Copies of this chain bind each other. A is one copy, B any other.
């Protein structure tokens, strides 16, 4: 899929030297990706939402970080419980989850 309606980037602290090590990773961000994928499948949003893992966004103290384009919305301190809200309210409903925004 090229040009999804929403492109969700989740920091998993992967570095270009091949190691995966850092704050977002240590706070369970790989599990966030699994949760996003489950929610997206459950809500039948697979055709319009893409999930991509990333390296560091540079604001580790607010991690785990999730960035959604094309709006360019940055979410911080994201937990597995927050994922369902982001998918339901933002990706399905089109409304940014303001209290999770940084």
Question: Chain A residues in contact with chain B, CB under 8 A?
Answer: 1-3, 7, 9, 12, 14-16, 18-20, 30, 33, 50, 52-59, 67, 69-72, 74, 102
Q: Tell me the complex Cα distance, A52–B16, Å.
A: 10
Task: Give the number of times this chain occurs in the complex, counting copies.
Answer: 2
Q: Are B52 and A57 in contact (CB under 8 A)?
A: yes
Q: Are A12 and B16 in contact (CB under 8 A)?
A: yes
* Binding site secondary structure of chain A: loop
Q: Tell me the complex Cα distance, A102–B3, Å.
A: 10
Question: Can you show 8 pairs from A to B with CB atoms below 8 A apart?
Answer: A2-B102, A7-B67, A12-B16, A14-B53, A16-B20, A50-B57, A52-B54, A52-B57
